Amino acid sequence: MKHENAIHRLKNVEGHIRGIERMLDEEAYCIDVIRQIQAAQAALNKVTSIILEEHLNSCLTTAVRGEDPMERERVLKEIADVFDAANKV
């Protein structure tokens, strides 16, 4: 299955977040909770890396090697956009 690794990692993040809910429920120390949220975000960064790499090597490569200049421009613009968005989360 395609994306198997990414899906597996997302399932882990889901479990991680359920664990953080439990920590809050059991009134764990706030700073420990924040550290766990930051760890979940780092795990999500890793998923983004995996998907981006797949995208660069498939869709983006196809579009850039293709003969439609607008399609080429569109996929390159998307990379620039997700890069900007990455700087804001």
Given the structure tokens 């613009």, which residue do they identify? 77
87 contacts a second copy (rule: CB under 8 A): yes
Exposure class string for 51-62: b at 16+ Cβ within 10 A, else e: eeeeeeeeebee
The upper half-sphere exposure of residue 37, i.e. CA atoms within 13 Å in the direction of its Cβ, equals 12
Structure tokens at 57: 């090597």
Chain residues 16-75 in contact with a second copy, contact rule CB under 8 A: 17-18, 20-21, 24-25, 27, 29-31, 33-35, 37-38, 40-42, 44-45, 47-49, 51-61, 64-65, 72-73
What secondary structure letter does DSSP report for 22?
H
Which residues contact a second copy (rule: CB under 8 A)?
A: 2-3, 6-7, 10-11, 13-14, 17-18, 20-21, 24-25, 27, 29-31, 33-35, 37-38, 40-42, 44-45, 47-49, 51-61, 64-65, 72-73, 76, 78-80, 82-89
